[in-house]
Amino acid sequence: MPSVTFQIPSEVKEILSKHSEVKWDKVVADTLWNHAKKLRLLDKIASKSKLTQPNATQLDKAIKATLLKHYKRT
């Protein structure tokens, strides 16, 4: 199985070190796998989409304008 190295804040490392009973490599692997499955599903959905980047940008601006208008009233 491939190996991955990453950095974590010192505070997190301290907490992890206090709980050696937890198999942290499994926790991380499971979390990454769950996220990867979601990304795979998004890629599958997006591959069938006819939405172009200019359309997405236009939709983004329209949604933000509507939200701005809505929240300025409240």
pLDDT in tens, 8-33: 999 999 999 999 999 999 999 999 99
Helix (H) or strand (E) holding 33: helix 24-47
* pTM (two decimals): 0.64
Q: What is the pLDDT of residues 30-57, one digit of tens each?
A: 999 999 999 999 999 989 989 999 999 9
> What distance in Å separates the CA atoms of residue 74 and residue 69, rounded to the nearest whole number?
9
What is the per-residue pLDDT for 74? 65
